Amino acid sequence: MKRFIARHVAGLPKSGIRDFFEIVAKKKDVISLGIGEPDFDTPWHIREAAIYALEKGRTHYTSNLGLMELRRAIAAYVESNYSVGYAPDDEILVTVGVSEALDLALRALLNPGDKVLYHQPCYVSYHPGVALAHGVALAVPTRADDGFALNVADLERAWQPGCKVLMMNLPCNPTGGTCDRAHLEKIARFAVEKDLIVLSDEIYSELVYECPHTSIAVFPGMRERTIFLHGFSKAFAMTGFRIGYACGPAQLIEAMMKVHQYSMLCAPILSQEAAVEALARGQDGVKSMREQYQRRRDLVVKRLRAAGLACRAPGGAFYVFPSVASTGMSDHDFAYGLLEKQGVAVVPGAAFGENGRGFVRASFATGYDQLVEACDRIERFVNTPAPCSAPSPS
Amino acid sequence: MNPVLKLLIEGGHLTTAQMAQVSGLSESDVDRHLEQLKKDGVFLGWRPVLDLSRESAGAVRAVIEVKITPERGGGFNRLAERLSRFDEVESCYLMSGAYDLLIFVTGPSLQRVAGFVSEKLSTLEGVLSTSTHFMLRSYKEGFFLMEAPSRENERLKVSP
């Protein structure tokens, strides 16, 4: 059968998270800090809006671009929160999560062999997404000592002729890394100079803790070369609704829409109706969740440091990305050992690319009491390391 | 808002030691905040959240609407405070609208609650009328949904 599978698909590595998931799923009494989604249920008023839409029989296709009411609401939200204006008519496309928007953008932009810069560690789909669009992904390392921010010097080093796109995700899953305004402005200048399109995945941008979030689209010359990607999954705790959007220059959105209309047609209408409600009345919920994440972050960072792990306080998202170097273990052995001995699941950093090696990702999107217990167990594990037989990575 | 009050609202089942860890305060700071909240009359005490409508709880609850005669100088206070002292009374509120006091009552049986209403409550001077509604089933109690599905089962154990 294998011979039937397309080469670029056969060549994709299996997700490291997938292997780990299989093992965790079989174990009982595990506290999982391996979950990349909010523990909060979607606020009731948003769920109720979806139920109401269903009751009213709003079960049909929408415009390919998405409900006009939702696009208007998105335009207003992006304008007021990110200071970039987009026209609801032709500069906003509603998608099935940011994942679809990323895929559409890559497929709409890349010719076979076009090169894409992306920072690493990064979300698991970045490299495969580029490969599936027949592009060539060039990893730009980010480092713990400067908070996993994206540096222009590293971009310069990684750049090659034929680079067309820069993909970035700030705040970042898995590192929680953010970029301050000055950093970002330099990246913007680099993008202009090298004539790059920037795919800016800002899905965690409501969840920042110290510095306010800035979108790269605000800098001179950037609006016309940025595709701003955002969605409802993280800030509004709506992961299962699968609803996101892309904003950008009309010609780029039109190109993405072509791919979207022939593959997805439109995002599910019930999710779109729920998203309208989220934007209309969801701000209090977002604020309350952010405050809770921040307290959890402070707790986890303090406890992991006390346990002897080098852990910086992430500027955004809901992940800490501590180094496990001090334990003498690899990230793989640490994660499997911790699961085996203490029943706590964290994700080995290598699942997020080579530059994640030596780190683990722990999500603090989990209740306080579970977090306290998980930190107790991690402390016990770090302080009584024992040789364990971890299965080798596949 | 007082940081400890926030935690009490968000996750009321934390111990003071856990609250200290979560909030980054010392345990004595948490105790100090709790004392302050008590002093302010905001935090009144720890109390479990119970679903008394379950058969195994062996309890009957009723809500009683009470009309009373207000008094010169004290309004509704004297009678309301007097009623509140009965052990059967869980909560007692002065309300706007068609009646004056709303009283939540708990007892081991329907007869005992009925006895309280007919023997104690309605016989008090100043009580004009009562209307008793027995509770049949709880759906939400103190912010807890009774049929809340467990979260762990809903989320994948590991996801990107």
For A177-196, write each residue's pLDDT tens digit: 999 999 999 999 999 999 99
Confirm whether B71 is domain-assigned.
yes
- Mark whether B64 and B22 lie in a shared domain: no
- Mark whether B31 and B62 lie in a shared domain: no
Confirm whether B33 is domain-assigned.
yes
- Mark whether B76 and B133 lie in a shared domain: yes
- Mark whether B13 and B62 lie in a shared domain: no
What is the tens place of the pLDDT at every residue in B87-143?
Answer: 899 999 999 999 999 999 999 999 999 999 999 999 999 999 999 999 999 988 887
- Mark whether B59 and B35 lie in a shared domain: no
What is the reported pLDDT for B43?
Answer: 87
What is the tens place of the pLDDT at every residue in A23-81?
Answer: 898 898 999 999 999 999 999 999 999 999 999 999 999 999 999 999 999 999 999 99
Q: Please, which residues have CB within 8 angstroms of residue A102's CB and are 6 or more apart in sequence? A: A125, A126, A129, A167, A199, A201, A229
- Mark whether B29 and B63 lie in a shared domain: no
Confirm whether B10 is domain-assigned.
yes
- Mark whether B59 and B130 lie in a shared domain: yes
Q: Is a pLDDT exceeding 50 seen at residue A394?
A: no
- Mark whether B82 and B25 lie in a shared domain: no
pTM of the model: 0.83
CATH number for the domain that contains residue B87: 3.30.70.920
The answer, for B160 touching chain A at a CB cutoff of 8 Å, is yes
Confirm whether B148 is domain-assigned.
no
What is the reported pLDDT for A166?
Answer: 98
- Mark whether B66 and B115 lie in a shared domain: yes
Q: Which residues in chain A are closer than 8 Å to B7, comparing Cβ atoms?
A: 295, 368
Domain positions in chain A:
2-41+284-383, 44-281
Confirm whether B21 is domain-assigned.
yes
- Mark whether B10 and B84 lie in a shared domain: no
Confirm whether B46 is domain-assigned.
no
Q: A2-41+284-383 is classed in which CATH architecture? A: Alpha-Beta Complex (3.90)
Nearest CA in chain A to B14: A369
Q: Is a pLDDT exceeding 90 seen at residue A239?
A: yes
- Mark whether B12 and B61 lie in a shared domain: no
Give the least confident one: A69-78, A107-116, A348-357, B43-52.
B43-52
The answer, for B84 touching chain A at a CB cutoff of 8 Å, is no
What is the reported pLDDT for B155?
Answer: 83
Under CATH, to which class is A44-281 assigned? alpha beta
Q: Is a pLDDT exceeding 70 seen at residue A393?
A: no
What is the tens place of the pLDDT at every residue in A278-325?
Answer: 999 999 999 999 999 999 999 999 999 999 999 999 999 999 999 999
Confirm whether B63 is domain-assigned.
yes
Query: Which residue range is the domain that position B76 belongs to?
Result: 55-138
Confirm whether B61 is domain-assigned.
yes
Identify the residue among B6, B158, B159 best suited for mutation to test binding to A, counting A beta carbons within 10 A and taking the highest.
B158
- Mark whether B98 and B29 lie in a shared domain: no
Q: What is the mean pLDDT of chain B?
A: 88
CB contact under 8 A, A34 and B160: no
Interface ipTM above 0.90: no
The percent of residues above 90 in pLDDT, for chain B, comes to: 55
CB contact under 8 A, B22 and A21: no
Q: How many domains does chain B have?
A: 2
What is the reported pLDDT for B14?
Answer: 83
CB contact under 8 A, B24 and A173: no
The answer, for A44 touching chain B at a CB cutoff of 8 Å, is no
